[in-house]
Amino acid sequence: MGGGGSMGGGDKMGGGDMGKMGGKMGKMGKPKADKSSSTGHVAPAAPAQSGPAVVHASTSCKSGAGVCQDISKSSCSGGHYESGFCPGASNIKCCISDSTPTPPPSSSGGDLTLNQLIAVMPGVSSSKASQYLPYLNSAMRSGGITTRRRQCAFLAQVGHESGSLRYMEEIASGAAYEGRRDLGNTQPGDGVRYKGRGPIQITGRANYQAAGQALGLDLINNPTQAATPQVGFRLAVWFWNSRGLNSYADQGTQSAFDTITRRINGGTNGKSDRDSRWALCKRTLGA
């Protein structure tokens, strides 16, 4: 990161989403056969002349966890009724088995707000957060980083690497990377030219070349654009997905987050700060 130390090693820099119930919960009366039909098919019962249409047990609740029933004509045996998941009048409710938990709220995170970004990036200025926010949200959407778990894992790592978005370019000169063939630095001056840039501090000729090809950018001849928010956040998401890190973020465990750290850093440098940022983001966003 801007403070140095984590961007030159390991995998990173070496190129190196309630299912429906299994069975139906009890049938409400079977429709009678239409005797005038020669086909033998069962025809639905004629609708009542007044009042709401009958909702049959085969109508699944919008929650996906039960069936819609008319509570004046049926009982929810072995379960309980919940409102708001069925079409029709107020007497049509969803019968949910007590053995099937109600599905949790959607984990889709949506875009970050300015206040949320400031809260999860301690020390970032309001003006800089406001400048970066649209580029960050756009990049996360494009890379499928759209659930709170994914967002928090990503933001914790990016926050560490960039010092809460204060450093979009490594403070050190990059000379320490000179001759690092594991980074693809084979030409004189590659260390300085391809030093850590962007919110995830992408480093080395090999990474600049691969990212440029993936994003349609000439980063070999114009490496400094990696430090701009327009490009930097796209690079960070490219790097994240090129290492398959969403699958680990989805697990939401410390072990999986540690794997993310190793795949970004090549080790566990800054683990305490990364973990603290992850915990802060989860508290802030409700992950």
Whole-number Å distance between alpha carbons of 177 and 207: 13
User: What DSSP line would sit under 216-279, residue for residue?
Assistant: T--TTT-GGGGGSHHHHHHHHHHHHHHTTTHHHHHH--HHHHHHHHHHHHSS-TTHHHHHHHHH
Cβ(176)–Cβ(185) under 8 Å? Answer: no
CA–CA distances in Å: residue 220 to residues 57, 73, 230: 63, 72, 17
Residue 19: CB atoms within 10 Å: 8
Whole-number Å distance between alpha carbons of 15 and 242: 10
CA–centroid distance for 173 within its chain: 34
Give φ, ψ of 55 to 5 degrees.
-105, 120
Determine which one of 161, 169, 170, 178 is catalytic: 161
Whole-number Å distance between alpha carbons of 124 and 229: 14
The two tokens of residue 140 are 């996360």
The reply to whether 161 belongs to the active site is yes
Active-site residues, by number, are 161
